[in-house]
Amino acid sequence: MESAPSTNSSDQIRDAITTLFQRGPDATLRMILRKPSHERTPEELEVVFEELLHISALSHLSTSIKRELASIIVFEAHSQSGTICELFNQGDEGRSWYIILKGKVDVVIHGKGTVATLKEGDDFGKLALINDAPRAATIVLKEHNCHLLRVDKEHFNRILRDVEANTLRLQEHGKDVLVLERVAKHRGVSAFKY
């Protein structure tokens, strides 16, 4: 018959978790993002959401999209760098959108060489998803131990469809002059906001 953990060992576990959280918020975030999305608790989703607020590549996105991203975004770590560590190649099918948490990557185009270096807070890979086209460049990891956030194509497309379905655009002479986003209100009523 198994006995319940002693109060002493429960206290030790709680202390270890508290220490991990205080010393390594990045470790906590990585731990959460490695979990399948359906296993993330509301508290964990809030931790991820708070981190997403500080990523420049996401600054233009609405709060509702960032909350949705918190539930489906995945962590990837790549320990090697260089030409043997290409994340994807020019011409490949687009399967994911990436955001750099730590490290740098080179954007390489056939015949032109390295055309850009992206750093923490930058994103790449979404054009192939938006346009349903092959990758326009090869991405080469420039540094060891790169940390990336990944949004897979099916989630990206679902979020994009939801955004379009909940957006009202007012145009004048073919240009957007006002864009409103439908936000959920209580009791099933919706409203638009700027």
Helix or strand or coil: residue 73?
Answer: coil
Torsion of CA 74, 108, 159, 178, to 10 degrees: 140
In one-letter notation, the amino acid at residue 93 is: E
**One digit per residue, pLDDT tens: the chain, 194 residues?**
555 555 677 787 777 666 655 555 578 888 999 999 899 999 999 999 999 999 999 998 888 899 999 999 999 999 887 655 678 999 999 999 999 999 999 999 999 999 999 999 999 999 999 999 999 999 999 988 899 999 999 999 998 877 767 666 566 777 766 656 666 554 454 444 54
Total residues belonging to the chain: 194
**The two three-digit tokens of residue 136, written as one number:** 């326009």
Q: What is the pTM of this model?
A: 0.72
* DSSP element (H, E) containing 182: strand 175-184
Position 163 scores a pLDDT of 72
Domain residue ranges in the chain: 13-192
| Longest CA–CA separation in the chain, Å | 77
Torsion of CA 140, 146, 148, 153, to 10 degrees: 30
The set of long-range contacts for 182-187, using a CB threshold of 8 Å and a minimum separation of 24, is 183/64
Residues pairing with 176 in the sheet? 171
- Measure the CA–CA gap between 36 and 22, rounded to whole angstroms: 24
Q: Does domain 13-192 have CATH number 3.90.1150.200?
A: no
Tally Cβ neighbours within 10 Å of residue 131.
10
Position 189 scores a pLDDT of 46
Tally Cβ neighbours within 10 Å of residue 97.
24
